[in-house]
Chains A and B, each alone.
Chain A
């Protein structure tokens, strides 16, 4: 068994629009080792959520492959996919929209187990549901309540319990804390990290919140307009950002210190260019202070060593073919 649980090779999702193809996810290569967390960061509309849904095949990818435990998810038929759904789950951003308002907590959590016939009888189903509620820190007195009677943090716990009910190996977390209060955010994040240790889960953690991603990730990938511009282990990325976009992102994190005056944050000028029929070359080039003519022609991948890969000319390092190199290493 290889220690790579999930690998995407040249994953693409183009949405047809009247003006042309919208490149929501464009040629993404990534790998996630078993039991680790890959953080995906990027601004709104950069294709983070689409990427997560393509991997789970809730959205059909245009091309490319998603290897889960060595099997290609994109080529599975309905039956295989149904089996696969047990092992790959999704935690949603909005705990208000992601729970059916007409189902009690018990129904919401137990339904997936009933579909897959995990429990042999009703008593067993009940016991497992209570167990799951206990695992996510939800008091058993909530078992007969409806989602509208519960606050956001507890609702998100229901969502997590539902995702865990099938005992998955891999969980895509689509901004699971961005709809919650800051105080609740930390609780939920810690819960998710505990669960990872306990159950050996592998996470793909999608967020726009840099401090959250720093807290939970082992490795971080930065997305810009559907493309991965940089990927590195967490500490490497925060201490040594190579791509101008990553640098700008990191410099925008406020520093909580009185009288702290260093350099002005590097503000990015201009707006995100359109993802519809993008021009070749680096997509960040129109906003990049260091852009040269070369940037408009091609966008090479560079390997800076230590698993640090960046899509920029200015960085040295050997040329890298992200997917292939990583697979070989794995």
Chain B
């Protein structure tokens, strides 16, 4: 009998492939990322920011696929180029928050004692500051820009995330196999990475997928308040909130960015569900 040399990721991929819906969603997510990366090849950035008073509120046509907005800017170009900022916000802030929350939450739960108290009280303090105020403070301290925006959104979602990871890990670290690992000479870091996190993965993944769409919308809110990316640069949330004023007679200004946000959120959520099942060997064959 040969030992299979497959890593757990490869095994998860094999299991994921059986889940058709998740694969479709994975394709959609990949497509969105490709659009964001190659936006310049699809349509020049100029189209997204050039005003054209002749084409104000133009309805969708062969020339302007998604129509034009109140300043006559091509909506298709704006949505395509907006995906860059929006996806970066959604994925970037989620990735930062997920890594930070996983490490902090599991370390707090597993090490316990004073470290736990310090981390959790910091989380309490952070969660008592309104997210907008927090972003304001970060913008005031570090200036405006995309990295600052990503960090401030990530920090805003951190307290709840840390709490969820911590309670999951508390349940896991009471299990006997953790004690077994300790008696086998595993160090704390090794136990967290190789014993606890894989078992907490399902909770973390589900939480992360729900956060992607929430983070895109947080970016919108901050852009709306002028804390987001500088004005002419398109971003789905900003496009949507600009269009909101004209929804009664130029509904395409809202519909197109909304469709993109919805598709992104939906496919990431379904993909996340699929991933969670794929990473759980107990569900082998069921999904």
- Find chain A residues with CB under 8 A from B133 CB: none
- Give Cα distance in the complex from A82 to B179, angstroms: 14
- Give Cα distance in the complex from A302 to B266, angstroms: 75
- Find chain B residues with CB under 8 A from A90 CB: 179-180, 183
Q: Most A CB atoms within 10 A — which of B8, B181, B195?
A: B181
Q: Is the CB of A98 within 8 A of B3?
A: no
Set B1, B182, B184: member contacting A111, Cβ < 8 A? B184
Across the two chains, which residue of chain A brings its CB closest to B284? A146
Given known A-B contacts A102-B8, A146-B282, A162 and B185 have beta carbons under 8 A apart: no
Q: Is the CB of A116 within 8 A of B199?
A: no
- Give Cα distance in the complex from A111 to B191, angstroms: 11
Over the window 176-218 of chain B, the binary record of Cβ atoms lying under 8 Å from chain A Cβ atoms (1 yes, 0 no) is 1101111111100010001100110000000000000000000
Given known A-B contacts A99-B177, A102-B198, A148 and B185 have beta carbons under 8 A apart: no
Q: Is the CB of A101 within 8 A of B183?
A: no
Given known A-B contacts A99-B177, A102-B8, A115 and B281 have beta carbons under 8 A apart: no
- Give Cα distance in the complex from A85 to B284, angstroms: 35
Q: Is the CB of A143 within 8 A of B180?
A: no
In terms of DSSP, what is the predominant structure of the interface of chain B? Answer: helix
Given known A-B contacts A101-B281, A102-B198, A126-B3, A115 and B182 have beta carbons under 8 A apart: no
- Give Cα distance in the complex from A106 to B183, angstroms: 18
Across the two chains, which residue of chain B brings its CB closest to A116? B185
Whether A100 sits at the interface, judged by CB under 8 Å, is yes
Q: Is the CB of B1 within 8 A of A112?
A: no
Set A82, A102, A141: member contacting B185, Cβ < 8 A? A82
Given known A-B contacts A102-B281, A148-B282, A89 and B183 have beta carbons under 8 A apart: yes
Set B176, B190, B281: member contacting A92, Cβ < 8 A? B176
Q: Is the CB of B176 within 8 A of A94?
A: yes
> How many residues on chain A are close to B (CB under 8 Å)?
36
Set A115, A116, A126, A162: member contacting B190, Cβ < 8 A? A115
Whether A97 sits at the interface, judged by CB under 8 Å, is yes
Whether B4 sits at the interface, judged by CB under 8 Å, is yes
> Within A68-124, which residues are at the interface with B (CB < 8 Å)?
82, 85-86, 88-90, 92-94, 97-102, 104, 106, 111-112, 115-116
Q: Is the CB of B185 within 8 A of A98?
A: no
Whether B175 sits at the interface, judged by CB under 8 Å, is yes
Q: Is the CB of B281 within 8 A of A100?
A: no
Q: Is the CB of A162 within 8 A of B198?
A: no
- Find chain A residues with CB under 8 A from B199 CB: 100-102
Given known A-B contacts A102-B281, A162-B180, A115 and B3 have beta carbons under 8 A apart: no
- Give Cα distance in the complex from A111 to B181, angstroms: 9
Q: Is the CB of A143 within 8 A of B8?
A: no
Q: Most B CB atoms within 10 A — which of A58, A100, A144, A146?
A: A100
**Which 10 residue pairs spanning A and B have beta carbons closest together?**
A97-B176, A98-B176, A85-B185, A112-B184, A140-B1, A100-B177, A102-B198, A146-B281, A90-B183, A144-B4
Q: Identify 23 residue pairs between A and B in the complex whose beta-carbon atoms are under 8 Å apart, listed by A's number.
A: A56-B183, A58-B179, A85-B183, A85-B185, A86-B185, A88-B183, A93-B176, A98-B176, A99-B180, A100-B199, A101-B281, A101-B282, A102-B281, A104-B4, A111-B186, A115-B184, A115-B190, A144-B1, A144-B4, A148-B281, A148-B282, A162-B180, A162-B184
**What would 10 more interface pairs be, CB under 8 Å, given A85-B183, A115-B186, A115-B190?**
A90-B183, A92-B180, A94-B176, A98-B177, A100-B181, A102-B8, A104-B4, A111-B184, A112-B184, A166-B184
